[in-house]
Amino acid sequence: MTRLTLAIDAMGGDFGPCVTVPAAMQALASDPQLHLLLVGDPDTLTSLLAKADSALRERLQIIPAESVIASDARPAQAIRHSRGSSMRVALELVKEGQADACVSAGNTGALMGLAKLMLGSLNGIERPALMTVLPNVRAGKTVLLDLGANVNSDSAMLVQFAIMGAVMAEEVLAISRPRVALLNIGQEETKGLETIRDAAGILRDAPEINYIGYLEGNELLTGKTDVLVCDGFIGNVTLKTMEGVVRVFLSLLQSPEGKKRAWWLSLLGRLLKKRLAKRFGHLNPDQYNGACLLGLRKTVVKSHGGASQRAFVAAIEQAEQAVRRQLPERIAARLETVLPKSD
Amino acid sequence: MTRLTLAIDAMGGDFGPCVTVPAAMQALASDPQLHLLLVGDPDTLTSLLAKADSALRERLQIIPAESVIASDARPAQAIRHSRGSSMRVALELVKEGQADACVSAGNTGALMGLAKLMLGSLNGIERPALMTVLPNVRAGKTVLLDLGANVNSDSAMLVQFAIMGAVMAEEVLAISRPRVALLNIGQEETKGLETIRDAAGILRDAPEINYIGYLEGNELLTGKTDVLVCDGFIGNVTLKTMEGVVRVFLSLLQSPEGKKRAWWLSLLGRLLKKRLAKRFGHLNPDQYNGACLLGLRKTVVKSHGGASQRAFVAAIEQAEQAVRRQLPERIAARLETVLPKSD
C-alpha cells in the first residue's frame, strides 16, 4: 500500500478534538502508511497531543483553522460564513491535492453543501448522497443511501442514487449485477409516495440496473437486496432507528440481571453473554460509523456527530478504503456508460 | 367486565382465515366476555371452524361477505367497489351498533378511507391516524403515530396527531402531562422538513401540550418522550425497521452456534439464551401487533397484513382494551377542550 493523506476536521462533532485527536492517533497506529492533517485550533490540538507517541506524531500535522461551523447552524448561512472554519480548510486541503480525502463529524448540511461547492459533483449527479454499507444477516452487505444529505429528493435524484449505489456495490463490494430496491411502505406497485412510484417506473425500464422493486423497513438487514435507495429524511430516520434498537439490545445483553446466582453460574453467564454480544457486534453502530458522500469528485466521509473514539476511527478507515479503492473515479467511469449523454 | 362484541374482517391480511379463525378461537378462550362476529366467506369459515370447541363456538357468529378487498388494490378504487366486502361489512356492523369495534388485517388505505366514510371522524380531526403503543427501556410506554394512515401530512395534521397522542397517553396510559416530541433528523430547531418545523412552532405555543422538541430515530425505545409524532410514511418505515431489527436479534439468539460443546454447557447456554429471549420478548412485534385508528367515532384496529395467529390475537386484545377504556369517547371529550372552537 502506498502513502495516503487524510484531512480531518478535528473540531467538528459533539465532542470535537476530545474524540477526533485520540481517534487520529489510534488510526495512525494501525496503518503505517497513513498521514493525517488535523485541522482546527492549534492551541487545543497541541495540548491534546502533548502526551502523544512521538513516532506517530511524525505522521501528523496540525493545520490551523480559526473557527468551527456549529452543528445547529443553518447550512446556507454556515456556508456563507465558512471561510477559515475547520471544515472548509479540511476540504480546501483535498481540493488543492494536499489530502486525498476529508473526514468530518460536523454539520451534515454544511458539509454536503461545501463539499459540492469546493470539490464539484460528478457529471450527471444533481446532488451527492450519503451512503453507508450495512452488514446483513446473510453475512453479506447492503448499500444504503441517501442517509440525509438531502431532505427532499425527487424521482430523478432517487434514480441517480440507485445508479451510484449499484456502482458502489459492483465496484467495491464485488457484487455482479447488484439487486437494487426502493424503500417504501408496501411491496405493491401502487403503494407509497408519488416520487418513489415515478422512480420505480424509470428504474424498471433501465437495463443497466437490476431493479427488484420495493422493500419495506423490516427488510433492512435481511439481505434481500444489495442496494436500498430512499430519500435522505427517510434514510436518516431508518438508520438511526436501527442503531437505537441495536444499542438497546446490546445494553440489555450487558446489564446485570439482578438475581443472585452461584459464582460459577454467573461467570458462565457472563462468558456466554460476551460471546453473544460479539456475535451481534457486527451490527453495532460503532463498527460501521462513517457515511461516504457519493457523487463528488473526491472522497468525503461524514461521521456521526456523536461518534465515540472507536466510531470516529471507523469513519477514518472508511475514508482510507474509499481512496484506496478509487471510489469516486470508479463511479465517474461507470456513470459515463450508464447515464444518458447530454450534448 | 361486561359483554363485548367485535367484528373481525376474517378475510383480510396475507393469510386470511388461516390466521384470523384460529386467532379468533384463541381470543374467545382467553376472554369469557368476548363475542365475535367473523365476517367472510361462509363456506371457508365454516370448514375452518369444523373442529372448533363447541362451547367457544357459541360466542362466535359467521356474517357472510361475498368479496375481499385485495391488499394491493388502490384505496380509492377499492372503496368504490367495497360493497359486500368483508372489511366493509365488518365496519357496517360497528356502524349499526351490532359490534363495538372492528379488527382487520386488510388494505390499510382502504380501511382508513372506509372507516372514516362509514364511522365518521371526530370534530376537529381532518384525518385519523394509526397509533401504536411501544414498550421502552425505562419500562414505560411510548405512543407512536401516524404509522401509515396518511402518506403525506401537513403541519396541521401533525398537530392533530400530537393532541390525539397526548390524550391517549394521558387517558389510557395514565401519564399526567405527557411529553410530546416530533420525530426529525436532528434535534436543532433548524433541522428537517418544513412541515415539521411549522408543526413545532404551533406545538411550542400550545399550553395544553407538553411539547419537548424534536427527537431522532435512535430515541424510539429510550423513553425520552411519552408521545412521538411523525407523518405516516416515516412512522411506517420506522416501526417496520424496528421490527426487522428485533426479529434479527431474536433469530440470532435462537440460532445454534455451530461449535460442539459438552452437553451440560450446551444445555446451560440454551437456558441462558431462553431467558435473554424472554427478556427481549416485550420488544417482539408479535406481542404488540395492532394499531388503533385514532380520531374516529368508534374503535377500529388495523393488524399487520402478515400477522401470525399470536399477533392477530394481540390486535383483537387491543380492540377489546380500546372499547373497555372508551378510547374514542375520551379522545372526543378532550379534543373539545383542547381544539380551537369553530363557529
Triad B127, B173, B248: Cα angle to 5°: 80
Hey, is the C-beta of B71 within 8 angstroms of any chain A C-beta?
yes
Contact B246 A241 (CB under 8 A): no
Q: With bands split at pLDDT 50, 70 and 90, how would you rate the model's confidence at A273?
A: low
Confidence of residue A340 (pLDDT cuts 50, 70, 90): low
Q: Would you tell me which residues 160-179 of chain A have a C-beta closer than 8 angstroms to some C-beta of chain B?
A: none
- H or E element: which one contains A307? none
pLDDT computed for residue B1 by the predictor: 66
CB of B188 within 8 Å of any CB in chain A? yes
Query: Residue B272's pLDDT is what?
Result: 64
- The 10s digit of each residue's pLDDT in B166-225 is 988 988 888 999 999 999 988 777 777 889 999 999 999 988 899 999 999 989 888 999
The residues near A163 (Cβ < 8 Å, ≥ 6 apart) are: A208, A209, A334, A335, A338, A339
**Residues 308 to 337 of B: which have CB under 8 A from any A CB?**
none
Query: What residues have CB less than 8 Å from B116, skipping those under 6 apart?
Result: B127, B128, B296
Residue A113 has pLDDT above 70, yes or no: yes
Contact flag B236-A185 (C-beta cutoff 8 Å): yes
Which of A72, A134, A229, A249 should one mutate to test binding to chain B, selecting the residue with the greatest count of B CBs within 10 A?
A249
Smallest Cα distance from B250 to chain A, Å: 10
b/e A22-45 (16+ beta carbons within 10 angstroms → b)? bbbbbbbeeeeebbbbbbbbeebb
Q: How far apart are CA B57 and CA B71, in angstroms?
A: 29
Q: pLDDT category, A343, cuts 50, 70, 90? A: very low
ipTM: 0.82
Distance from CA of B56 to the nearest CA of A (A): 36
Residue B40 in contact with residue B65, Cβ under 8 Å? yes
How many cross-chain Cβ pairs, A to B, lie less than 8 Å apart?
A: 162
Chain A residues lying within 8 Å of B73, measured CB to CB: 190
Percent of the residues in chain A that have a pLDDT greater than 90, as a whole number? 61
As a whole number, the mean pLDDT across chain B is: 88
Q: How far apart are CA A97 and CA B285, in angstroms?
A: 51
Nearest alpha carbon to residue B99 among B288, B322, B305: B322
SS3 category, A66: coil
Chain A residues touching residue B275 (CB < 8 angstroms): 257
B83-to-B78, B88, B227, B342 alpha-carbon distances in Å: 9, 7, 37, 34
Look at B238 and A217 and tell me if their CB atoms are within 8 Å.
yes
* Predicted local distance difference test score (pLDDT) of residue A13: 92
Q: What is the pLDDT of residues B249-287, one digit of tens each?
A: 777 666 555 555 566 666 766 666 666 666 666 666 666
Among B20-29, B55-64, B231-240, B263-272, which stretch is predicted with the lowest mean pLDDT? B263-272
Cell numbers given for B222: 429510550
Residue A276, pLDDT > 90, answer: no
Alpha-carbon distance of A86 to A82, in angstroms, equals 9
Domains and CATH numbers, chain B: 1-123+295-327 (3.40.718.10), 126-292 (3.40.718.10)
Residue B180: the pLDDT is: 97
Segment holding B237, helix H or strand E: helix B232-254
pLDDT in tens, B209-222: 999 999 999 898 88
Find, among A266, A244, A127, the residue nearest to B249 by Cα. A244
Instruction: Assign A260 to helix, strand or coil.
Output: coil
* A277–chain B Cβ distance below 8 A for any pair: no
Which residues of chain A lie closer than 8 angstroms to B219, CB-CB?
A: 244
Q: Cα(B90)–Cα(B103) distance, rounded to whole angstroms?
A: 8
At residue B122, does pLDDT exceed 80?
A: yes
Q: What is the 3-state secondary structure (H, E, C) of B91-160?
A: HHHHHCCCCCEEEECCCHHHHHHHHHHHHCECCCCCCCEEEEEEECCCCCEEEEECCCCCCCCCHHHHHH
Higher pLDDT: B100 or A288? It is B100
Instruction: Give B237's Cβ-side CA count (13 Å radius).
Output: 30
- H or E segment and range at residue A40: strand A34-40
A145-198 tens-digit pLDDT: 999 888 888 999 999 999 999 988 988 888 999 999 999 988 777 777 889 999
pLDDT per position as a tens digit, B141-165: 899 999 988 888 899 999 999 999 9
Question: Other C-beta atoms within 10 Å of A121: how many?
Answer: 18
How confident is the model at residue A238, as a pLDDT? 93
Query: If DSSP codes are grouped into helix, strand and coil, which group holds residue A154?
Result: coil
Contact at CB, A276 and B253, closer than 8 angstroms: yes
Q: Mean pLDDT, chain A, as a whole number? A: 88
Chain A residues 248-267 within an 8 A CB cutoff of chain B: 248-249, 251-253, 257, 265
Q: How far apart are CA B282 and CA B266, in angstroms?
A: 25
Give the position of cell 357468529.
B61
Mean pLDDT of A33-58: 95
Task: Name the residue facing A236 among B71, B185, B243 (closest C-beta).
Answer: B185
- Chain A residue with CA closest to B190: the answer is A74
A203-242 residues touching B, CB cutoff 8 A: 216-222, 230, 232-234, 236-242
Question: pLDDT-based confidence at B343, cuts 50/70/90?
Answer: very low
Question: Could you read off the pLDDT of A234-251 as tens digits, one per residue?
Answer: 999 999 998 888 887 777
